[in-house]
Amino acid sequence: MPDAPGPVAAGGGRTAVAAGYPVCYDRASMATSVHSTAVVYPNVQLGDGVTVGEYVVLGTPPRGASPGEHATVIGADSVIRSHTVIYAGNIIGAGFQSGHATLLREFNHIGDQVSIGSHTVIEHHVEIGDGVRIHSGAFIPEYSLLEPEAWVGPHVTFTNTLHPLCPRAKDCLRGPRVRRGAKIGANATLLPDLEVGEMALVGAAAVVVQDVPARMVVVGNPARVVRSIDLLTCPYGLMDSPYNVTSER
Ligand SMILES: CC(C)(COP(=O)(O)OP(=O)(O)OC[C@H]1O[C@@H](n2cnc3c(N)ncnc32)[C@H](O)[C@@H]1OP(=O)(O)O)[C@@H](O)C(=O)NCCC(=O)NCCS
């Protein structure tokens, strides 16, 4: 049952919110604002300047945990848009942005300046580096890794079980590892336990079944390497090479 019925302001530039659960929580002080319709469970720590929108739920205990058992940390200047649900145990850096109705299950580590779009689902134990951007409607299952500056397009699906419902499936969950700066085009599907190399580019709707070498473009089902990103050209003549900024005209 809830302990403290209201918010508790803590020092250190952070606000420890210990609202009774699951009550609506009304707070507007300094630059941090939590909409009156938001539900904030105990042990949620909001940095300065965080904005929490309508009907957001923060710190939902995962199954088997009690409210407040696991800390939830959301860094300074984050914007949590309406209907987002963030489970307990997420440790999120500064400048985080969620779209509307984004879902983050428990125990994810998320760096600074990360953006996760509307209706995207992040399962648990996902590692997301600084500057990662994930578009709308994506699905990122447990044990996936996105290194800094990776980019994921709309409706992309990562997978983590090669043989669904195998009796040992839960013992071998392994999500994809998307290395630094790699980009995944719209509607692509990534099979489990593979690596998309640094700065690689996965074409729209590709089905990636094996590792993608760094800086390579892959397309199709099954996805095959078609060229290096260094050989892509801009069809609009804005620059010689979209991924070589020194070639800008
Ligand atoms: C893969 C991609 C980067 C290729 O870019 P490009 O400048 O069109 O490159 P190319 O013209 O050299 O295309 C290479 C070949 O792959 C084919 N191809 C391009 N994209 C493809 C795709 N997604 N699926 C299958 N084949 C594709 C092209 O038809 C071409 O075939 P060809 O050599 O037989 O003519 C681009 O098509 C793509 O899919 N970008 C991602 C778009 C996206 O999802 N954006 C999200 C924004 S919200």
Could you tell me if 115 and 236 lie in one domain?
Answer: no
**pLDDT tens figures, 155-202:** 999 999 999 999 999 999 999 999 999 999 999 999 999 999 999 999
Could you tell me if 92 and 122 lie in one domain?
Answer: yes
| CB-based pocket (< 6 A), ligand 1 | 153-154, 185-186, 201, 203-205, 217, 219-220, 226-227, 232
pLDDT on residue 9 = 32
Could you tell me if 125 and 208 lie in one domain?
Answer: no
pTM for this predicted structure: 0.89
Residue 100 to residues 119, 133, 137, Cα–Cα distance (Å): 7, 15, 10
Percent of the chain with pLDDT over 90: 83
| Closest CA to ligand 1's atom 33 | 226
Q: Which atom of ligand 1 is nearest to the CA of 185?
A: 44
Number of domains in the chain: 2
Could you tell me if 4 and 57 lie in one domain?
Answer: yes
Q: Which residue has the higher pLDDT, 126 or 9?
A: 126
CA of 228 to the centre of ligand 1 (A): 12
Phi/psi for 98 (5° steps) reads -110, 150
DSSP string over 147-177: -TT-EE-TT-EE---SSTT-TTGGGG----E
Q: Exposed, middle or buried: residue 63 (CB in 10 Å: 0-12, 13-18, 19+)?
A: exposed
State mean pLDDT over 16-22. 45
Could you tell me if 188 and 243 lie in one domain?
Answer: yes
Could you tell me if 51 and 82 lie in one domain?
Answer: yes
pLDDT tier at 17 (50, 70, 90 boundaries)?
Answer: low
Token code pair at residue 66 = 């009690």
pLDDT tier at 244 (50, 70, 90 boundaries)?
Answer: confident
Domain-terminating residue out of 101, 131, 161: 131
Could you tell me if 162 and 110 lie in one domain?
Answer: no
Domain-terminating residue out of 131, 159, 184: 131
Could you tell me if 49 and 146 lie in one domain?
Answer: no
Helix (H, G, I), strand (E, B) or coil at 109: strand
- For ligand 1, pick from 136, 226, 240 the residue to mutate: most ligand atoms within 8 Å of CB: 226
| Closest CA to ligand 1's atom 37 | 203
Count of Cβ atoms closer than 10 Å to residue 100 Cβ: 16
CATH at 106: 2.160.10.10
Query: How wide is the angle at C-alpha 112 spanned by C-alphas 108 and 115, nearest 5°?
Result: 75
- 8 has a pLDDT exceeding 60: no
Domain-terminating residue out of 96, 131, 166: 131
Could you tell me if 25 and 121 lie in one domain?
Answer: yes
pLDDT on residue 24 = 38
- Under 8 Å between Cβ of 213 and 228: no
Could you tell me if 110 and 155 lie in one domain?
Answer: no
- The C-alpha atoms of residue 44 and residue 139 are separated, in whole angstroms, by 25
Its domain, for residue 176, covers 139-249
DSSP structural state of residue 61: P
Could you tell me if 127 and 170 lie in one domain?
Answer: no
Token code pair at residue 149 = 């500056």
CA of 232 to the centre of ligand 1 (A): 10
pLDDT tier at 152 (50, 70, 90 boundaries)?
Answer: very high
pLDDT on residue 245 = 59
- 6 has a pLDDT exceeding 60: no
Could you tell me if 103 and 222 lie in one domain?
Answer: no
- The C-alpha atoms of residue 113 and residue 32 are separated, in whole angstroms, by 17
